[in-house]
Structure 1
Amino acid sequence: MRNFHFHGIRIVKTGIAIFLTAIICEWFHWPPVFAVITAIVTIEPTVSDSIKKGIVRFPASAIGSAYAVFFIALFGNSPITYTLAAVFTILTCYKLKLHAGLLVATLTAVAMVEVIHSNYLISFFIRLGTTTTGLLVSTAVNMIVFRPDYRKDILDSIQKIGARAGTILEQTFQTILYDEQQDRKIDGVIIHQLNKEILKTETLIRFQRDESNLHPLMGGDREGILMAEKQLSYLHNLDYHLGNLRYLPLNKISWSESERDIIMDAVTELSNDLQHAEDYNSQKHQLQLKNITDLFWEDNDEITKNNEIHPTQFPPELIILYELVTIYNLVDRFYNPDLINSSQKVERK
């Protein structure tokens, strides 16, 4: 639903930009096709991107127009004109690093071959005018109509990622602790999907940061963006530590039934914290963490005394507990990023 909303708004803005661009070109008696092409490709996810790429697309389009006029004057409307105009436009844009404008410039160059028959210089300046119109109209529409604002999408996405991570965490430890199959494996697909959601949200945060830098009125939300970045980084680390559990020899774990239950209780509480943010209780969280930490040190003493099964590496029990303790700390930072930063500053002083 979120993707449909995102693309739906972009489609509406593209339609409005096309309509306004065509009207302006008709008013000046310019052929609107070139301006419309420019307007279509200039609608970007953020106003900042529209402006940045527009700055590149204008000279690129001028290059394409110039080559079209030049080769039409030499060869007229012929196959070699299309070929040379397109090839030289692409080569020049690559040479000048105008990659964002390459498509518009090439389309402009080949489209002009069909419509220019005389008055080459006037046609060249008309193409610049239509390109400028498409750039300005699309940028203005992007800025005024449904101005990009991804804050709600970012918050919703972070909550969903946290809830999904909680579910994956519980399923993962259910497999580790109670699945009796000898060849049991943790599903890596669901962890990979979680990572994809995190990357998508990082993109939205980048979009919102660009908008905040561009619009002074939105600059006051920079703290909110910074908070979202911190929370997402903790979820990213959580995803990493979940992934580490996939590669353990799960059929060699020697925990007793009571130890498994202690761990699973802690995991269930942690999963509930991630799925239901309103239920998070810092004191309860720390108590569960202490139980896991105590078990970690007990296992550290007992297992490493006679580590014949894993003589060259840490036993899986310690690795699992280490990952779980790390995840507990990440969840605590996820809900209290400012508190953690404050405590670090005090220690440094």
Structure 2
Amino acid sequence: MRSFRFNGSRIVKTGIAIFLTATICLWFGWPPVFAVITAIVTIEPTVSDSIKKGLVRFPASAIGSAFAVFFITLFGNAPITYTLAAVATILACSRLNLHAGLLVATLTSVAMVEVIHDNFLISFFIRLGTTTIGLLVSTAVNMLVFPPNYRTDILKSIQSISERAGSMLEHTFRTILFDGDANLQEDREIVKRLTTEIRKTEKLIHFQRDEASLYPWVRNREAELQMAERQLLFLHNLEFHLDALLRVPLHDIEWTKAERDLIMHAVTALADDLRHSTSYDHEKHQHQLKKITDLFWENSKSVTASDAMHPTLFPPEFTILYELITIYDLVDKFFDPDSVKAAREAEI
């Protein structure tokens, strides 16, 4: 649903920009095709990107137009004209680091060969005018029509990642404790999807921060963005430790049934915290962590007190409990009251 809404707004804005651009160009008596091409590619995910890339696309389009006029003057409407205009535009834009405008400039250069027959200099300035119209109209539409706002998407995405991580955590430990021979390939795929979702959310935060210079309401929510970044970092670390759990050898785990039940109870409570953030209880969280920590030290003592030669690798029980304690600490930081307070203050 989120993706559809985002793409839908981009489609509507692109359509409005095309209509307004074509209308203005026709009012001036200029061919609208070049302006429309520019308007289409200038609708970026953020207004800031539209402005930044627009400042690159204008000189790039000017270069493409200039090469088109130059080679038409030399060779007329011939195959070599299309070739030289395109190649020269690509080389010049690449050399000048105008990569964001390279495609538009090349299309403009090639398209101009077909429509210019005389008055080459006037045609060149008309192309600059139509490009300017396309840039200005599309940027204005992007700013005023459905202004980019990723706040809701960011918060929903973080909540979704948290819920999926909680479900995976519970499933992974249930498999480790009670079904050691099971295939964890599905869990590994879930970890990969979590990583992808985290990357997408990081990009949304980047988009939202880019708008801070243009929209005061974005600047006023800087504390909320910082909180979202911290939570996303904790989720990324959580994903790392979940992946580490999936790599622990599950054979020869020597926990008793009571110990397995104790661990599973703690994991279930932890997973519920991740799935239902509003019901997070710090005191209950610390109580469960104390039980797991005590079990961790008991296991450590049993290893050091063993008459057998000390192993070169940690026993799987040791590693699993260490990862679980680390995850408990991450979840506690994820629900840091200071972060929640900062978010609420940002909404005022």
For Structure 1 versus Structure 2, the TM-score category normalised by the shorter chain is over 0.9
Residue identity matched to 2:84:
L
Distance 1:319 1:96 in 2: 54
In structure 2, the partner of 1:345 is none
> In the alignment, is residue 152 of structure 1 matched against residue 152 of structure 2?
yes
Q: Is the 8 A contact 2:209 2:218 kept in 1?
A: no
Q: Is the 8 A contact 2:208 2:218 kept in 1?
A: no
Number of corresponding residues: 342
Q: 1:252 to 1:49 in 2, by over 3 A?
A: same
In structure 1, the partner of 2:141 is 141
Q: Is the 8 A contact 1:183 1:251 kept in 2?
A: no
Q: Is the 8 A contact 2:164 2:275 kept in 1?
A: yes
CA shift, 1:113, in A, is 0.5
Say which is worse superposed, 138-147 or 317-326, in terms of deviation: 317-326
Q: 1:223 to 1:129 in 2, by over 3 A?
A: same
Q: Is the 8 A contact 2:82 2:113 kept in 1?
A: yes
In structure 2, the partner of 1:213 is 213
Distance 2:236 2:252 in 1: 28
CA shift, 1:215, in A, is 2.1
Alignment of 1:266-277 (within 5 A): 266-277=266-277
Secondary structure at the residue paired with 1:247? coil
Q: Is the 8 A contact 2:180 2:250 kept in 1?
A: no
Q: Deviations over 1:221-254 (max 9, x none)?
A: 1111111111111111100110111211111211
Secondary structure at the residue paired with 2:117? coil
In structure 2, the partner of 1:311 is 311
Residue identity matched to 2:134:
G
Q: In structure 1, list runs of 5 or more residues that go unmatched.
A: 343-349
Distance 1:67 1:330 in 2: 58
Q: Is the 8 A contact 1:184 1:250 kept in 2?
A: no
In structure 2, the partner of 1:51 is 51
Residue identity matched to 2:321:
L
CA shift, 1:217, in A, is 4.0
In structure 2, the partner of 1:87 is 87
> In the alignment, is residue 170 of structure 1 matched against residue 170 of structure 2?
yes
Q: Is the 8 A contact 2:253 2:316 kept in 1?
A: yes
Normalising to structure 1: TM-score of the pair?
A: 0.94
Distance 2:138 2:5 in 1: 19
Residue identity matched to 1:39:
A
Q: 1:259 to 1:18 in 2, by over 3 A?
A: same
Q: 1:16 to 1:265 in 2, by over 3 A?
A: same
Residue identity matched to 1:314:
F
CA shift, 1:54, in A, is 0.4
In structure 2, the partner of 1:346 is none
Distance 2:234 2:180 in 1: 32
Residue identity matched to 1:6:
F
Distance 1:310 1:87 in 2: 69
CA shift, 1:183, in A, is 6.5
Distance 1:260 1:165 in 2: 21
CA shift, 1:339, in A, is 6.8
In structure 2, the partner of 1:33 is 33
Secondary structure at the residue paired with 1:252? coil
Q: 1:10 to 1:340 in 2, by over 3 A?
A: closer
Q: Is the 8 A contact 1:65 1:105 kept in 2?
A: yes
Q: 1:9 to 1:185 in 2, by over 3 A?
A: closer
Q: Is the 8 A contact 2:48 2:210 kept in 1?
A: yes
In structure 2, the partner of 1:20 is 20
Distance 1:31 1:303 in 2: 82
Q: Is the 8 A contact 1:162 1:274 kept in 2?
A: yes
Distance 1:110 1:183 in 2: 56
In structure 2, the partner of 1:332 is 332
Q: Deviations over 1:9-41 (max 9, x none)?
A: 000000000000000000111100000000000
CA shift, 1:115, in A, is 0.2
In structure 1, the partner of 2:97 is 97
In structure 2, the partner of 1:347 is none
Residue identity matched to 1:238:
L
Q: Is the 8 A contact 1:42 1:135 kept in 2?
A: yes
Residue identity matched to 1:155:
L
Secondary structure at the residue paired with 1:23? helix
**Identical positions, percent:** 66
Distance 1:341 1:313 in 2: 43
Q: Deviations over 1:291-342 (max 9, x none)?
A: 1111111111112433859721211111111111111111111111637999
CA shift, 1:91, in A, is 0.7
Q: Is the 8 A contact 1:182 1:251 kept in 2?
A: no
Secondary structure at the residue paired with 1:81? helix
Aligned-residue RMSD, C-alpha: 1.8
Q: 1:339 to 1:230 in 2, by over 3 A?
A: closer
Q: Is the 8 A contact 1:17 1:39 kept in 2?
A: yes
In structure 2, the partner of 1:74 is 74
Residue identity matched to 1:283:
E
Distance 1:184 1:218 in 2: 42
